Structure 1
Amino acid sequence: MTTHKIVKYTAGVLAIAGIAFAFSSCKKYLEVEPISSFGPDYVFSSPANAEKALISAYAQLGGDAGYGIRLSMYYPLDNDEMMGQGATPYPDNERRDIAHYNVQPSNTQLANPYSQLYVGVERANLAIYYIPKMAQYTGGTISEQAQLKRFYGEALALRAQFYFELIKNWGDVPAQWTPSAFESDLFKPKTDRDTIYDRVLNDLAQAETIVPWRTEATQFNNERLSQGAIRALRARIALFRGGYSLRADKTIKRDEANYKKYYQIVRDECNAIIQRTADHNLNSSYQAVWKDFICQHKPEPNGEVLFEVGMSGGSSAVGDSKLGYYNGPRYNGTGNGALTVLPTYFYSFDRNDTRRDVMCAPYDITTGPVLVARTLQSMVDGKFRRDWTGSLTSAAQYFGTNWPMMRYSDVLLMFAEAENELNNGPTAAAITAFERVRKRAFGSSSIGTTPTTKNGFFTALVNERAWELGGEGIRKYDLIRWNLLKAKLDEAKDRMKAMYQSQTYNGETTPVDYSKLPTTLYYKPNQPAPLTFFSPTSYYDATVTPAPAGYTAVSWVGTGINTTILTYFAVNFTQFKSELLPFPQNQIDANPNLKQNPGY
């Protein structure tokens, strides 16, 4: 949670009489007493109450079933940056099966996120339906009208985000655009994702005209959607609408006749944000974004974080997050440390790229606090590390850390990608946007030469997005929309085989010699952060012999990569199936019109 925490409201605030949530397992409305006396006439009688209804929709983004853990740390893995939880038991019909592409419709981690996303759709639909009917929407004071229009725009954007997450994971999904109480049939078949995408892109085009920019809003905090965040969301969805995806006929394809139309949306929306330098800009320090602001529960002052999911704090599975507990370094044996940074991803960073040591944390924490080195094959992600949050209480699992949904660097890279696609090569503006991201990462070091051909620039963007946005739940879905998921998973496996065998990887890209990497590193024990190895370049130097006095050895490049990672990493990935999740079995059982995804 940040300093300006949005208030979380329970379901009771919006228990409007007569509402039945979509896709219920009951075939008739039940005759029940409402758990609250607040009906729609009361809830949508004043801007203050309408805002509470809106916040109840925002609340469906958080918690264990939302971006608190499942949508942020279960569903986006495995990818060529990280592996989800390995080790036994596997298969587990749980999170390990999701990560390693062995998921079945009965998997216990499917039903709640799927249902929560639709609760979010329902609550957004209520706000979208009722807010424009309020007397103050057209007849109130100028302030009331502006406020309610902003709420209406936020609700449109929230519905778009809920549907976007559903489509990313399940493809074509049932779509409903009015509250369930007004629907004659809740057992809906799938709607083609392109139809849903086009609808929400139009909604977002309307929303961005009535929601203020960050600097124009009163009492703004980035747990609420601003115009910049809505434009960025519209750009992101347009990228997916114009990209590749697995279809019902078991093919992976894109709309070849129209895809550039969507890249134009990306270009225009990102450019609009880039022009608003007072609203959104890069922090000069990549590390500071995470260590000083996100992990410290403070708003990033440059507007680099356009939107983040507000978490309530205080140990709530409903509204909080396990960021820093499920992932990242462990403290005195507590925490899962479940997500493993691939050794090949770690070594893909240039040694002068400051993002590597933000994203990759090769240590655990003990009382002091002092750091204890992890092996290369057990390295964890570090953007949400608990030693940056100060959350070193051994019993805690929920640290109130927000999930960043959109950052300004992503806007810059989306803009560069769209410019490259639309112009058959990078324009000067595309190169400038791309290099802004790299220059921050490298500081005074050289960023190298930016490619100027279409294919070369695209390859550079594919790599840059991995380095800049690692661990932010984006990579797997990027690879899907580029139709590169299988190729990149296979490449990661081949690279890791070459690495643990101390060989050269000869793939489609430039050969990489892994033979000179160290098998052992040395660090000083009982030292506080940062963890210091024997020499600044020790990650890249041959093993030092004899062992330096006063240092402790830790295993580095070796066969452990094979036994601890390659045993599990994307082991059951099946092309033309694994790009989508299966629908939860309870939804298939409840809805006779819902057909299972291909291959399940």
Structure 2
Amino acid sequence: MKQVINLIIIIIAVIFTGCKKDFLDPVSLSTFDKTLVFSNIDDARKATNNVYRQFGEDGYRTRLSITMQGNSDISVGGDRTSSKDNYQILALDAVAGNGDLKKAWQSAYAAIKDCNVVIDGILASDLYNSTTDEAASADMHQFIGEAYAIRAFWYSNLVYQWGDVPFTTAAPKAGMDFNLPKTDRNLILSSMIKDLIKAEPTMKWADELPHSVQQVNREFVIGLIARLSLQRAGYYLKPDMTKARGDSVTEYYTIARDYCEKLMTLKDRTLPRDFAQVFKNECQNIYPSNSDMLFEIPFALTTGEVGYNIGMRLESGDNNPYGRGGHDFSLTPNYFYSFDAKDLRRDVTCGMYDLDKNLVPSVVRITDIPQGKWSKEYCDPSLGTASFKGTGINWVVMRYADVLLMFAEAENELNGPDEAAQNALKRVRERAFDSGDWATKVDDYVNSVSASKESFFNAIVNERAWEFGGELLRKYDLIRWGLYSQKMTQAVDEIKALADESLTDNPSAKHASYIYYRVDNKKITIFKDGLYNNGAVPPGYIPSTGADLDGNTLPLVNGWVRADWTSSLWDSGTNDYNAIIDKRFGPYIESSPVRYIQPIPAIAIDNSGGVLANDGYGFQN
């Protein structure tokens, strides 16, 4: 599918215009004769490729997919004292003139326009419902399904970020009124769900497509119907800053449950045991069908910032063949300690080391835990010493584990924690633990949380955090659950409790004030047994009297190094909590509910002929 993105250049340069154009400034499909373009399968396929184009633009690959989805109770970034565009967004203080919001908004509506052009063109094509060429008709149904799904995906993001937004499903035509007012977000979601339900049955499975999970496929669309239905059934923020929930909640939970069950019946698959490899596959250009991954954004080698601003930190240098890597968001200390000590997902999700320019590792700070699921270090072949942005590492959109947990959530909402809901939760947890621990960590655990509908829902809230950490689904989950404010406040309280605990000499303290590690032949070993046992030290670690315990600079006994861990959450200089708590979390706990809605970009308002305005949510036009 990486070729799909690159084919767009060919589409525009050869098929339509006959002249060379810049990939980043393509000519719109709407300016061409759609009757001709959609009269044959080859051109229709290439035209449909255009609906993927905006994923490679900055408005999505950096802004909407990462910056605008990052802050939650399990991952945070930003600095409220900075006026940079991305930090304005993270501080919930963006203005209409914010350049990053403009990029995201324009990318969304450019993608929607491309989808509308393809949909209109295919619906008008004789091949779409041909009875004489069934193969061509099947291809056209697949193409239109891709366009429906990508359009729905963009509208889902717009609704989460901006609430009610302008809504159009028609391709641009001469004389059309482009100054559209806002449409109720519930009407938009309902419309998108109906489109997907209509398109899904005639789409192709990933194992029937040339690009597998890098191409919109039937299993992803089934999962997307469920995801949008849960969004439609969930909570949202009104302009008067009160939380609301749409009508027909039971109807949409039922749709979510039924479509998850449909995929589990028609195309079930076993979750691969190696949780880490699911994400390393993206770094290694491996795209298996009938596995956990259902759809991932296909970034070309010169696009995408996975591994650069989301992933493990690597310092660039001549001795580093992978290039520079880092993360804009850090996983939170309370999230790290929310994992069961035996949960195999913790050390995959929470990166524990940085690499310097010579690939020598050192342990991370507890306030700066990276997303360990992706790293340039995993890339094979390596990206080169000069690599920074444009990694080409794909971005996960949906996994089968998501379908299992959405089913468990919807089934619990409709019928309580019955056997079907419990079994779906168990399937996800079985991968998270060694089989020898299943009796206690899976069976006993699920039995205990199934005491009531409420306790099972809370278990789903926790499980989705542990399963999808770093994948930036959490913010949208918290919004639709109506828990954004509550969980952000809870996170701060838990982080402060960790800091308070580190200041005492309580022998029963559970969390490590310090972390011990050693490096041998550029391989790091962390004394993880001490993470949940404050005061524990590695075997044989007995520093002599007066030994220098500044583990950040000097190796200690037997090669072990001590570094600050929870102790760094307290700033001894100011005799207060680490300032990063306020810089990152402050805007999210100072008012309730969290004002996560963004202002409509000024350029959209200026070009709307007075139709659009930033009314409500405390915005100032």
What TM-score does the superposition give when structure 2 sets the normalisation length? 0.85
Question: What's 2:283 paired with?
Answer: 295
For structure 1, which segment, 474-483 or 176-185, has the greater mean C-alpha deviation from structure 2 after superposition?
Answer: 176-185
Supply the distance in 1 between the matched residues of 2:135 and 2:262 (Cα, whole angstroms): 26
CA shift, 1:53, in A, is 1.4
Task: Check if 1:134 corresponds to 2:125.
Answer: yes
Higher relative contact order (CA 8 A, sep 6+): 1
State the partner residue of 1:42. Answer: 36
> 1:567 maps to which residue?
582
Q: Residue 185 of structure 2 is aligned with which of 145, 170, 193?
A: 193
Which of 600, 614, 617 is the equivalent residue of 1:583? 600
1:94 aligns with one of 85, 99, 104: 85
The alpha carbon displacement at 1:34 in A equals: 8.9
Aligned ranges for residues 3-152 of structure 1 at < 5 Å? 7-10=6-9, 12=12, 38-66=32-60, 68-86=61-79, 90-139=81-130, 141-152=133-144
CA contact under 8 A between 1:77 and 1:100: conserved in structure 2? no
Q: C-alpha displacement at 1:7, in angstroms?
A: 4.1
Higher helix proportion: 2
The amino acid across from 2:278 in the alignment is: V
Q: Is this contact kept in 1: 2:349–2:469, CA < 8 A?
A: yes
Are 1:415 and 2:407 an aligned pair? yes
Q: Offset of 1:341 from its aligned partner? A: 1.2
Does residue 482 in structure 1 map to residue 481 in structure 2? Answer: yes
Number of residue pairs matched by the alignment: 563
Residue 387 of structure 2 is matched in structure 1 by: 396
Determine whether 1:523 maps to 2:517: yes
Pair 1:326 & 2:317 matched: no
User: Counterparts of 1:392 and 1:498 in 2: how far apart (Å)?
Assistant: 42
The separation in 1 between residues aligned to 2:202 and 2:90, in whole angstroms, is 39
CA distance in 2, matches of 1:69, 1:498: 33
- Shift of residue 431, structure 1, vs aligned partner: 0.2
Q: CA deviation at 1:120?
A: 0.7
Instruction: Kindly state the Cα deviation for residue 101 of structure 1 after the two structures are TM-superposed.
Output: 2.1
The one of 128, 153, 159 aligned to 1:167: 159
- Contact 1:213-1:227 within 8 A present in 2 as well: yes
Q: Residues 213 and 287 of structure 2 are in contact (CA less than 8 Å); yes or no, is this contact kept in structure 1?
A: yes
Letter in 2 for 1:556: W
- Name the CA distance, whole Å, in 2 between partners of 1:35 and 1:285: 43
- One-letter amino acid matched to 2:500: Q
User: Secondary structure at the residue paired with 1:376?
Assistant: coil
CA-to-partner distance for each residue in 1:311-340, whole Å, 9 max, x for gaps?
011x3xxxx211111122222254343211
1:101·1:570 contact (CA, 8 Å) conserved in 2? no
Over aligned residue pairs, what C-alpha RMSD do you find? 2.7
Q: Which residue of 2 aligns with 1:206?
A: 198
Question: Using a 3 Å threshold, how does the CA distance of structure 1 residues 378 and 219 change in structure 2: closer, same or farther?
Answer: closer
Quote the offset at 1:577 in angstroms.
Answer: 5.8
Question: Structure 1 residue aligned with 2:564, among 532, 535, 555?
Answer: 555
Per-residue CA shift, 1:560-595, capped at 9, x if unaligned?
Answer: 463252031232234356221111122122212112
Cα separation, 2, equivalents of 1:595 and 1:401 = 38
Alpha-carbon distance change, 400 to 494 in structure 1, aligned in 2, over 3 angstroms: same
Q: Which among 598, 607, 611 is matched to residue 593 of structure 1?
A: 611
**TM-score after normalising by structure 1:** 0.88
Return the letter of the residue paired with 1:144: A
Instruction: Please tell me the residue identity of whatever aligns with 2:304.
Output: S
CA contact (8 A) 2:219 2:267 kept: no
Residues in 1 aligned to 2:14 and 2:240: alpha-carbon distance in whole angstroms: 40
For 1:213 and 1:95, how far apart are their aligned partners in 2?
Answer: 38
- Displacement of 1:6: 5.4
Cα gap change, 1:239 to 1:523, in 2 (>3 Å): same
Change in CA separation of 1:92 and 1:116 when aligned onto 2, cut-off 3 Å: same
Question: Which ranges of structure 2 fall in alignment gaps of 5 or more residues?
Answer: 18-26, 317-323, 544-555, 571-576
Q: Which amino acid aligns with 2:558?
A: A
Residues 183 and 155 (structure 1 numbering): CA distance in 2 closer, same or farther, change over 3 Å? farther
SS in 1 for 2:92: coil
The 8 Å contact of residues 212 and 289 in structure 2, kept in 1 or not, is answered as no
- For the residue of structure 2 that corresponds to 1:434, the secondary structure is helix
Match of 1:223 among 185, 194, 214: 214
Give how far 1:553 is off: 2.4
Kindly indicate whether the alpha-carbon contact (under 8 Å) linking 1:309 and 1:404 is maintained by their aligned counterparts in 2: yes
Query: Partners of 1:219 and 1:335 in 2: how far apart?
Result: 31
TM-superposed deviation, 1:247: 1.7
> Which residue in the other structure is 2:249 paired with?
259
1:587 corresponds to which letter in structure 2? A
CA distance, structure 1, for counterparts of residue 70 and residue 91 of structure 2: 7
Confirm or deny that 1:268 pairs with 2:277: no
What are the superposed Cα offsets for residues 415-449 of structure 1, whole Å, 9 maximum, x if unpaired? 000000001x2110100000110111012223142
Return closer, same or farther for 1:201/1:37 CA change in 2, 3 Å cut-off. Answer: closer
Residues in 2 aligned to 1:5 and 1:35: alpha-carbon distance in whole angstroms = 16
**Change in CA separation of 1:579 and 1:337 when aligned onto 2, cut-off 3 Å:** closer
Closer, same or farther in 2 for the Cα pair 1:129/1:353, shift >3 Å?
same
| Partner of residue 436, structure 1 | 427
Residue 35 of structure 1 deviates from its aligned partner by 11
- Contact persistence 2:502–2:567 (CA under 8 A): no
| One-letter code aligned to 1:519 | S
What is the DSSP-based 3-state SS (H/G/I as helix, E as strand, rest coil) of the residue aligned with 1:225?
Answer: coil
Indicate whether 1:311 and 2:314 are aligned.
no
Query: Identity percentage over the alignment?
Result: 32
On the 8 A contact 1:340/1:381 being kept in 2, the answer is yes
SS in 1 for 2:511: coil
Q: What residue number does 1:449 align with? A: 445
Is the partner of 2:73 in helix, strand or coil? coil
Tell whether 2:260 aligns with 1:242. no
**2:546 paired residue number:** none
2:164·2:184 contact (CA, 8 Å) conserved in 1? Answer: yes
Question: Are 1:93 and 1:106, in contact at CA under 8 Å, matched by a contact in 2?
Answer: no
Q: Which runs of 5+ in 1 are unaligned?
A: 18-32, 505-511
Question: Aligned-pair distance for 1:8?
Answer: 4.1
CA distance in 1, matches of 2:174, 2:274: 50
Range moving further from structure 2, 236-245 or 515-524:
515-524
User: Separation in 2 of the partners of 1:85 and 1:297?
Assistant: 31
Taking the aligned partners of 1:514 and 1:12, their CA distance within structure 2 comes to: 67
1:357 aligns with: 347
Aligned partner of residue 296 in structure 2, secondary structure: strand
Structure-2 change in CA distance of 1:148 and 1:513 (3 Å)? farther
Query: How far apart, CA to CA, are the structure 2 residues paired with 1:175 and 1:162?
Result: 11
Distance, in Å, in 2 between the alignment partners of 1:15 and 1:189 is 35
CA 1:182–1:432 in 2, change beyond 3 Å: closer, same or farther? farther
Is the Cα–Cα contact under 8 Å of residues 206 and 289 in structure 2 kept in the other structure?
no
Distance 1:536 1:426 in 2: 35
Question: Which amino acid is 1:578 matched to?
Answer: R
Determine the C-alpha separation between the residues in 2 that align with 1:565 and 1:514: 27
Q: Is contact 1:105-1:582 (8 Å) kept?
A: yes
